[in-house]
Each structure stands twice: as structure tokens, then as C-alpha cells.
Amino acid sequence: MLSRHTRIAIIGGGMGGLTAAIALTKIAGIQVTVFEQASRLGEVGAGVTVAPNAARVLERLGVLDRIRSLGAVPDGHGVYLDAMGRMVTDAAWEDTAKQYQNIGMYRPDLIGALADEVDPEVVRLGHRLASVEAVDAGVRLEFEDGTEEVFDAVIGADGIHSVVRRAVDQHPEPVYSGYIVYRGVMDASRLPADWPMISQVWMGDSRHFMCYPLQQRRLFNFVAGVPSDRPLNGPWSGPAEVGELAAEFAGESWDPRLQNFISQIEKTFWWGLFDHEPLTNWSQGPITLLGDAAHTMLPHQGQGVNQAIEDSMALATFLAAADDVGDIPEAFRRYTAVRMQRTAILQNGSRRAGAMFDAQYEFADLTKRDADIRVGRDFRRGAVFDYDAQKVAEQALGRFRKVQYA
């Protein structure tokens, strides 16, 4: 086991970085320092889903009960609907054993729950990273205010524009999907009393709309994906007019129930949807990546945050097996080998899911689209929701050891 004096820096105090801090502390017994560029920990006020595969990790980290108390477990399966609200199929948002279900979370609540598990003394706010460099003593970090520090290893959880990723010699160009999303939350009391407390997705001509409950059903999250050619060479997000959103789903071809939902929205924001091709490497010596820094993906499978949570458990498992600081680069290589294939599949799958929801490409044939969505329902349960990140890492660790001592 690594010495308790081993020092690892985590760059980024978002959901992935905080989960990594919890996992490395509790699973591997490692001293961590979290650097966050913002002046306080927080997230934009929108929703996120904690899926069964991440809930399994969070339970082992002792955080799941708190998250369940803050979130919203739906009444049952969600539904995929066509533009007029006719059922295409249900969405089984649970694992096969029905032990874990999707939990709708208000992002600030999830950040708060994770932050409560991290010693505030190890979180340094207002630190914007300028550069990362491997040196004889470990890894040197330089921040924009001119301060420098050296750590034994560094984990980049600093998002799609990751500075740490440059040190791993990976320079992917973010790819604009041609879509933006309108996002936000609304007070659930504005909805009809019989509004279903489940996730619902309306799929129409080149656009879709999703909603689901949050915060013990006091709030409803909404996400609407629409094509856009607005120039995105400046900001990738900003405030939007609700009327813009309403116009995208107006007319007789859209479900009046959906239009009524949109009429109750008071505020929305827009985001450009970007991802990048799967990376060819995540680690370089004592430097590695986690979450969006490693595998930015479109939101159409709801797995971005959940994969960062899986990353955290896998990384902690490999580091827990390291004997000394010199073993960290090998632990990082093993972590990368195990995680890259899974996240690449989900990155590509998220693109495909978006094409299905918006009836693009071969899915313009709605019969094919609907059939593929029904098939995908069972795939999510088995391949995505039943996945046990800790078990997979432990099994891989056993295989690596057999090869090492053969």
C-alpha cells in the first residue's frame, strides 16, 4: 500500500474530481489535494441522472443514502414517445437485479453531497492551472497566479478543455454536433397534479425533449435538443428566451401535453453540444485523466457523470494495490487499459442515441428507429447499468498480476 505521505493532486473540483477524492481517500488511503479554478464549489442549476452503475459505486463510498435523500427516484419505468406522445417503448431505468434505480439529481445538490465527504482542508479554490510538467521529484503544477507545487502524481479531472490532457500528449479538437440543448429546471407545482413522476422523452423530426423529476419531486428537469447553426466560436452556452424553445416544439405535429409543459417554463439556458473522438491514451508516467478530460461524450445516454464516477472507483482500486510511489505510473497504465474501451463504446453509443432520438441518418426510418430503441432498453440494463466498476478493476488486477509473475 502507498505511504500515507503520498501526495496526489486532483485538478478539478466538479463531480468527477470530488468523487475521485472520496475514492482515493477511502479505498486507497491516499492524501489528496483538490484544485478548483472557481472561487467556490458549485454547479449550474440543472439536472443530472445518477444511474445504477454509478449508484453502486456511491453506495460503496458511503454517499448513496445522502444522494437518495436529496434526489428523486421515479415512480417506475420511463417512456420514449413519438412527437404526438404515443408510446414507443418504456425505459427500464434500473439494473437487472432491481437493486439500483436512476436518481434524478439537481446538480448543486449532488456537488454538495460529494463535497460533504471531502475534508475542506484539502480543497483549494481559486486555483486555475496553467501548466503541468513531469519532473524528477514527481509532477510540477504551475497556476496562473504564479504559484507552483510538486506532487507525486496528478489526476486531470478538468473537463473538455483539460490542461492536464496536454501533458499526456493528447490534443483532440472538440467536435460540434450541430445541436444545442435548452436546459433548466422548473417548479413541479406548476405542472398538472397527474403529471407522471417518471422520465419522458418525446422524439420528433430532428429534435427531442426530455424531462424527469428532481429534489424529492419538487423540481422537474428538462433538456431539449435542437439543430442549430449559430456560431459557437465564442461562448458555448448562455441565457436563452423561453419563446425560442417553445417555437422549436410548436405546431400540430407535437404533443399538446409537451407544449403545455413548455408553457410553464420560466427560465432556460442553451448549451452547444460537443464531444471528441476517443483518445488513444489517458496516462503518461505519474499523470492521468478522469471524466470529461478523458472521454467527453454527448448527453444522450446520460452517462457522462456516471462514467467519471466509475473512473474514480477503478482508479482507486489500482492505486490501492500499489506498494510505493514508483508503482503509480503502472497503476495509471492499468487503469487506462481497463477504462478506455468501455468509455469509447459509450462515447460512440451516445452519438448513436442522439441520432435515434432525432431521426437522423438511417433512423429517419421510424420503424427502424423504434425497433433499435426497444433493443437498446435491454442493452442499457445489462451492459451499462449492471456494470460493477470495482469488480471489473479487481478482476483486471488479478490478470495483470498473473502476467507479471508468470
Active centre residues (catalytic): 212
Pull the grid cell for residue 91.
425505459
Going by C-alpha positions, the residue among 194, 191, 192, 177 that lies closest to residue 221 is 191
Bridge partner residues of 124 (DSSP): 35
Q: Pinpoint the alpha helices (H) of 96-180.
A: 107-115, 164-167
Give strand ranges (E) for 83-204: 87-91, 103-106, 123-124, 129-135, 138-143, 148-151, 153-156, 175-187, 200-204
Helix (H) or strand (E) holding 290: none
End-to-end C-alpha distance for the chain, whole angstroms:
22
Euclidean distance between CA atoms 171 and 162, whole angstroms: 9
Among the listed residues 259, 261, 257, the one whose alpha carbon sits nearest the alpha carbon of residue 85? 257
Task: Count other Cβ atoms within 10 Å, centred on residue 368.
Answer: 13
In order of 181, 243, 346, the CA distances from 230 in angstroms are 12, 17, 27
Distances (CA, A) of 103 to 4, 52, 59, 166: 35, 8, 13, 34
Secondary structure class of 365 (helix, strand, coil): coil
How far apart are the C-alpha atoms of 289 and 377, rounded to whole Å? Answer: 30
Phi, psi angle pair for 285, to nearest 5° = 60, -130
Contact status, residue 235 vs residue 149, Cβ threshold 8 Å: no
